[in-house]
Amino acid sequence: MALAAGRRVPARALLRAGARLGRTQATAGGGDGARRFANHRVLVEPDAAAGVAVMKLRNPPVNSLSLELLTELVIGLEKLENDKTFRGVILTSDRPGVFSAGLDLTEMCGRNPAHYAEYWKAVQELWLRLYPSSLVLVAAINGASPAGGCLMSLTCDYRVLADNPKYVIGLNETLLGIVAPFWFRDSLVNTIGHRASERALQLGLLFSPAEALQVGMVDQVVPEDQVQSTALSVMSRWMAIPDHARQLTKIMMRKATVDHMIKQREADLQNFVNFISRDSIQKSLQVYLEKLKQKKG
């Protein structure tokens, strides 16, 4: 299999996620009472009859994975997982254009080691909640999905991407001078194989929809206005399989990867805190964030 040439976007664009410092909780639960229960950053639209909930990220401007958003996601997922009414979750963005810009750099810059540790634990927690989830998870990727945004979609059982050339997807950490952790790698290798991962991770490739489909990063590319309906139709197909057999099969496929992560979890946490606390890394991030603030000031 020959790889499509990946595409890179300016690293700056990828950092907008973390650029809004001192953001306040602007959005509140929205809308039609009985059918929705909303937290601050995650809108959950449950369809109890179908057994499916749609989780919509809404953390303006670019759904960066702040500590707050991570925490709400984990709690929301846990709730759904424990509620026997629900067997499937569709992950999507409340703001078409950006699925999620990934980790929030403001959580990694100018804070203390205890904060870095708390933040990284939350990132780990989200992956540990998603990757072996007993729910059917379908990603309805209705926007750009770099780094942590891509990771979230990789944990799902199926990925539907909107056919818009701006909606790039990939683990582009090297472009920022950082390295994706081993469990990001494992999620990617399990999806697109060793060679494609080696190239994509080293080059920090962000794939266009056509490239993402070719390399296997997503399962389907559809017109933008059909992402949600396709996700629902895929979901109904997955839900037609007897739950118990499907769940055991999923665990059989993912257990080794999860076990390895859990075993290395503490070391991974220490690595992150040590790395991000380095003066050189902090300086790069500060310069970066400062530039973004000036740009918008």
The string of DSSP letters for 59-121 reads: -TTTTEE-HHHHHHHHHHHHHHHH-TT--EEEEEESSTEES--EE-GGGSSSS-HHHHHHHHH
Which residues contact a second copy by CB under 8 A? 1-3, 157-158, 173-180, 182, 185, 189-195, 197-199, 201-204, 213-216, 218-220, 237-238, 241-242, 244-246, 248-250, 252-254
Strands (E), 115-193: 136-141, 143-146, 158-162, 169-170
Among 68, 72, 107, 173, the active-site one is: 173
- Torsion, Cα 296 69 212 159, to 10 degrees, reads -150
Nearest approach, Cβ of residue 173 and a second copy (Å) = 7
Nearest approach, Cβ of residue 31 and a second copy (Å) = 33
Give yes or no: 103 in active site.
yes
CA atoms of 141 and 32, how far apart (whole Å): 24
Give yes or no: 142 in active site.
no
Q: Is the peptide bond before 61 cis (omega within 30 degrees of 0)?
A: yes
Among 51, 148, 170, 204, the active-site one is: 148
Nearest approach, Cβ of residue 36 and a second copy (Å) = 29
- Go through 236-251 and write b for each residue having 16 or more CB atoms within 10 A of its CB, e for each that does not: eebbeeeeeebbeebe
Asked whether 92 and 55 are in contact (CB, 8 A), the reply is yes
Give yes or no: 173 in active site.
yes
Among 57, 70, 73, 103, the active-site one is: 103
CA atoms of 97 and 163, how far apart (whole Å): 11
Cβ proximity to a second copy, 2 vs 26, nearer residue: 2
Cβ proximity to a second copy, 44 vs 147, nearer residue: 147
Cβ proximity to a second copy, 237 vs 293, nearer residue: 237
Cβ proximity to a second copy, 27 vs 214, nearer residue: 214
Nearest approach, Cβ of residue 101 and a second copy (Å) = 19
Nearest approach, Cβ of residue 1 and a second copy (Å) = 4
Q: For residue 220, what is the enclosing H or E element?
A: strand 220-222
Give yes or no: 72 in active site.
no
Cβ proximity to a second copy, 36 vs 199, nearer residue: 199
Catalytic residues: 103, 148, 172-173
